[in-house]
Amino acid sequence: MQKILHFINGEFKASISKQWLDNYNPAEGKVYSKIADADEQDVELAYKAAKKAFPNWSKTTIDKRSEILLKIADLIDENFEKLAKAESIDNGKPLSLAKAVDIPRAAANFRFYAKAITQFSGKAYESQGLNTQNITLNQAIGVVGCISPWNLPLYLFSWKIAPALAAGNTVVAKPSEITPMTAFMLADICQKAGLPDGVLNIIHGRGQSAGQAIVAHPDIKAISFTGGTATGQHIAKTTAPMFKKLSLELGGKNPNLIFADCDYDKMLSTTVKSSFANQGQICLCGSRIYVEDKIYDKFKKDFITKTKALKIGYPLDSSTNFGALVSKEHLEKVASYIDIAKQEGAKILAGGQKVKVKNYEKGYYFEPTILEVQNNQCRINQEEIFGPVVSLMKFSSDDEALQLANETKYGLSATVWTNNLNRSMRFSKEINAGIVWINTWLNRDLRTPFGGVKQSGLGREGGFDALEFFTEQKNICITY
Ligand code: NAD
């Protein structure tokens, strides 16, 4: 059986403790590889390798760093088919989605930061009349930690690593233990691209041990984390006494507000995607759908029809557009919310059941599910399910829609469907979220800031924000 090994100082290694985890193929419900399970001894080795590599890497010219990152992007493109298939098998997502979104975006992340770093620089301030000049440097921090979740494995892993490396840091990174395969494959690509040994170290294993050892390491000076809000809280507590720089991209419960004056067909097809793409396991999915009363019944009927037309199936089949959930535990969590919905008096309009896919009966499949709720305070509308479950609720005024949208502890993203300019301006400003999409969804320009407010996180990724995060400013004041 294939073994997923750590990548430390340019070498592939098992854990010092020789511990292994099972890696499941969620579409088949069976173990298909073994994952080295790191503890603090392995993290210490990775840290030492990164520390040793830092002086040279941080002094490597920007052109050279950029060239290596571009080469990594090219090699991701060259290995496109292999990576997409691996991502689909490891995660349960349709191969078509891995090909359309995950792998192209992973290459784009490296390409984007390879270019962005060539445009990033410190600043100078002349204190006129005082014979004084200030120069502000943006210096690489040192060894930084990058920790990512399972839903968009290579996409989110590379989204952290690329800016960290571009800015001249060396990295100890950990993908999710639920989907480690493409991060393992990336190690080989980085080596082939000429990334020097120790610059990127990839550790595998459980969050509580491997992840915790990265976060608690006193000399790993910055942590970029994407994952659940509870884990983010734990990381914030662990790192606060050490004054680490922290970027936290956490959970969401995003509203999707639909007004009667919208472009109906575009809204409907996008809403099916924003509800169920990647089986609803995208932090930006719109899981609370609020519809203006004038079109509520029509929308409900059309949305149910379109949702029922999704083809649930084996992720590698080309006709599948809805694959498996990522793990047995996650399947059970999602299913438990259907019981909660019933107890809360919600009406199941579509789905709500586990599914057996022919020949893959042990896979973790669940129907795309639409619930109709009457009360915004119900658990279905307040807790992140992170699966293929959305709720519908009607509203009758702009004020009510705004209130419903903001009545949550989360604030990652929101989508508004309207052709009324005044309304779209008002909602853009008054919705409490880091990202507001008007008449679109998952539309990303990598230069723009990405992140949440409230319990959805702290800090912004993307563009120069990530390069600011992965550097420390130093001001030098000179008089003459
Ligand atoms: P998770 O918090 O369980 O795990 C995320 C990562 O953190 C994994 O690599 C895990 O091993 C590690 N980890 C767990 N405990 C740790 C600890 N004590 N110390 C250090 N690392 C630890 O999240 P998940 O279940 O993998 O992902 C789903 C969550 O991620 C959802 O809440 C989703 O909304 C969120 N998410 C957010 C964004 C965003 O950009 N805001 C993007 C994708 C996913």
Which of helix, strand or coil describes residue 401?
A: helix
Q: Does 249 qualify as catalytic in the annotation? A: yes
Q: Which pLDDT score, from 0 to 100, does residue 336 have?
A: 98
Q: Are 33 and 55 in contact (CB under 8 A)?
A: no
The secondary structure element, H or E, covering residue 277 is: none
Q: How far apart are CA 8 and CA 6, in angstroms?
A: 6
Instruction: List the catalytic residue out of 28, 87, 177, 249.
Output: 249
Percentage, residues of the chain above pLDDT 90: 100
**pLDDT per position as a tens digit, 83-120:** 999 999 999 999 999 999 999 999 999 999 999 999 99
Residue 412 Cβ contacting ligand 1 at under 6 Å: yes
Q: Do domains 2-250+456-479 and 255-438 have the same CATH topology?
A: no
Please give the angle made by the CA atoms of 118, 120 and 122, to the nearest 5 degrees. Answer: 135
Compute the distance from residue 148 Cα to the ligand 1 centre, in Å. 6
The secondary structure element, H or E, covering residue 29 is: none
Q: Where are the domains of the chain?
A: 2-250+456-479, 255-438
Q: Which residues are within 8 A (CB) of 50 and not within 5 positions of it... i.e. 6 or more apart? A: 143, 170, 171, 172, 198, 199, 201
In terms of DSSP bridges, do strands 143-147 and 20-25 run parallel, antiparallel, or are they unpaired?
unpaired
> pLDDT-based confidence at 82, cuts 50/70/90?
very high
Of ligand 1's listed atoms, the one at least distance from the Cα of 212 is: 19
Averaged pLDDT for residues 268-282: 98
Of ligand 1's listed atoms, the one at least distance from the Cα of 149 is: 26
Pocket test for ligand 1, best of 43, 150, 231, 242 (most atoms within 8 A of CB): 231
Of ligand 1's listed atoms, the one at least distance from the Cα of 178 is: 26
Structure token pair of residue 49? 């390798």
Q: Which pLDDT score, from 0 to 100, does residue 3 have?
A: 98
Q: How far apart are CA 112 and CA 468, in angstroms?
A: 15
The DSSP code for 194 is T
Mean pLDDT of the chain: 98
Q: Which pLDDT score, from 0 to 100, does residue 68 have?
A: 99
**pLDDT per position as a tens digit, 110-136:** 999 999 999 999 999 999 999 999 999
> pLDDT-based confidence at 201, cuts 50/70/90?
very high
Q: Which pLDDT score, from 0 to 100, does residue 170 have?
A: 99
- Closest C-alpha to 232, from 206, 254, 210, 211: 211
Q: How far apart are CA 69 and CA 236, in angstroms?
A: 30
Percentage, residues of the chain above pLDDT 70: 100
Residue 220 Cβ contacting ligand 1 at under 6 Å: no
Structure token pair of residue 22? 């099972």
Rounded to 5 degrees, what are φ and ψ at 350? -160, 150
Q: Which CATH superfamily is domain 255-438 in?
A: Aldehyde Dehydrogenase; Chain A, domain 2 (3.40.309.10)
Q: Would you say domain 2-250+456-479 falls under CATH 3.40.605.10?
A: yes
Please give the angle made by the CA atoms of 134, 136 and 138, to the nearest 5 degrees. Answer: 170
Compute the distance from residue 175 Cα to the ligand 1 centre, in Å. 9
Of ligand 1's listed atoms, the one at least distance from the Cα of 177 is: 11
Q: What is the ipTM of this complex?
A: 0.98
Q: Which pLDDT score, from 0 to 100, does residue 348 have?
A: 98
Residue 252 Cβ contacting ligand 1 at under 6 Å: yes
Residue 212 Cβ contacting ligand 1 at under 6 Å: yes
Nearest residue (CA) to ligand 1, atom 26: 149
Nearest residue (CA) to ligand 1, atom 39: 249
**pLDDT per position as a tens digit, 20-71:** 999 999 999 999 999 999 999 999 999 999 999 999 999 999 999 999 999 9
Compute the distance from residue 227 Cα to the ligand 1 centre, in Å. 2
Q: Is the pTM of this model over 0.95?
A: yes
Compute the distance from residue 178 Cα to the ligand 1 centre, in Å. 11
Structure token pair of residue 136? 């502000």
**pLDDT per position as a tens digit, 413-443:** 999 999 999 999 999 999 999 999 999 999 9
